[in-house]
Amino acid sequence: MTATIKANDQCFCGSGRKFKRCHKTSFDPIRPGTVGPLREVPDGIDLPPYVTEGEVIRRPEPAVKSPDVIERMRRTAADAAKVLALTGAAAEPGVTTDELDRICHEATVGLGAYPSPRLYGEPPFPKSICSSLNEVICHGIPDDRELRDGDILNLDVTIFREGVHGDTNRTFLIGEVDPESKRLVRVTLECLERAIETVKPGAPFNGIGSAIQSHAEAAGFGVVRAFVGHGIGEQFHTDIHIPHYYEPRLTTTMEPGMTFTIEPMITVGAYDHQVWDDGWTAVTIDRKRTAQFEHTILVTDDGAEVLTAWPD
């Protein structure tokens, strides 16, 4: 799927009419920009296995982490939250997403950490942060597009240090944003907060999605199905999968020591997606806006600990 809709294509809104006779005059979608070169990582920083091996190889990893792994994750996740806050503070009209990538990259390596998105997956992700604008659901690649007044921007930061990953994201308002977009961002954050409240030993994982879906749909918004929360630890992604909608078959229960992400993606319109030719950038099928927030969570003996609590 390319990022540009041609005039004679069927309109994205589902009307059945040609794009030029439907939404063309009012539609200004995000388009691919120029992606800069891969940023260098200094010698002495530990690299995750997918960088040294050239591919992601899933390995068995305990769902319940040892006290040692948990302590390393606390430190790494806390610094991921600091990098996200620092990068987000620079997001304003006129700044490019590539500049935000530079800020994230330099802050990450300055902490002695590796930016986990860099060279992850297939094709290898070419940047150090995911920057997803407006109708981009997730995995947006930073480029030379300047942020504009009224944009909303999700920044997704993951860092690798001490052999573990910490993962977090937030949606930022750029300049003066319209009321509906502000409401979308607020409800999305509320979805994350309500989901975290369901986390405790013995609770089923599907309670997370139930809390998110009920709150989002009550507000008139949609919940993305294709991308989910995931286990995290010594690997970027482990075998725990957490839908952000209610899945009745997901009755597995939580145990103290489990670590995973909750990262609801909420849409103004349809929750279906399409992926650009870059193999990463996922956009809403109707090109309406979407927002996301994410934390790395630890199940404790009596509830949840947010490992990526934002310092600001």
pLDDT at 3: 44
Is residue 18 helix, strand or coil? strand
Give how many domains the chain has, as a whole number: 1
pLDDT at 17: 75
Question: Residues 258, 63: contact at Cβ < 8 Å?
Answer: yes
pLDDT at 157: 98
pLDDT tens string 69-97: 999 999 999 999 999 999 999 999 999 99
Residue 26 confidence (pLDDT) above 60: no
CA atoms of 180 and 176, how far apart (whole Å)? 12
Mean pLDDT of all residues in the chain?
A: 94
**DSSP summary character for residue 248:** T
Instruction: Give a yes or no: residue 107 inside a domain.
Output: yes
CA atoms of 302 and 307, how far apart (whole Å)? 15
285 — pLDDT class (breaks 50, 70, 90): very high
312 — pLDDT class (breaks 50, 70, 90): confident
Instruction: Give a yes or no: residue 103 inside a domain.
Output: yes
Average pLDDT over residues 149-173: 98
Instruction: Give a yes or no: residue 17 inside a domain.
Output: no
Question: Residues 135, 108: contact at Cβ < 8 Å?
Answer: no
pLDDT tens string 38-69: 999 999 999 999 999 999 999 999 999 999 99
6 — pLDDT class (breaks 50, 70, 90): low
25 — pLDDT class (breaks 50, 70, 90): very low
Question: Residues 158, 236: contact at Cβ < 8 Å?
Answer: yes
Give Cα 52 distance to the centre of its chain.
24
Instruction: Give a yes or no: residue 33 inside a domain.
Output: no
Instruction: Give a yes or no: residue 10 inside a domain.
Output: no
Name which of 133, 215, 220 is nearest 172 in CA terms.
133
pLDDT at 38: 97
pLDDT at 7: 72
Amino acid at 304: A
Please give the residue range of the domain that contains residue 141: 45-54+64-306
pLDDT at 8: 81
Residue 21 confidence (pLDDT) above 90: no
The pTM of the full predicted model, rounded to 2 decimals, is: 0.92
Question: Residues 272, 135: contact at Cβ < 8 Å?
Answer: no
CATH number at residue 279: 3.90.230.10
pLDDT at 14: 55
Residue 279 confidence (pLDDT) above 50: yes
Instruction: Give a yes or no: residue 24 inside a domain.
Output: no
pLDDT tens string 220-231: 999 999 999 999
Average pLDDT over residues 198-204: 98
Query: Residue for token digits 């940047």?
Result: 127
Q: Which residues contact 258 (CB under 8 A, 6 or more apart)?
A: 63, 64, 65, 231, 240, 298, 299
Is residue 137 helix, strand or coil? strand
pLDDT at 243: 98
Instruction: Give a yes or no: residue 100 inside a domain.
Output: yes
Q: Which residues contact 165 (CB under 8 A, 6 or more apart)?
A: 48, 73, 76, 116, 158, 159, 232, 233, 234, 235, 236
Both tokens of residue 304? 């949840």
Instruction: Give a yes or no: residue 201 inside a domain.
Output: yes
Bridge partners of 146?
Answer: 96
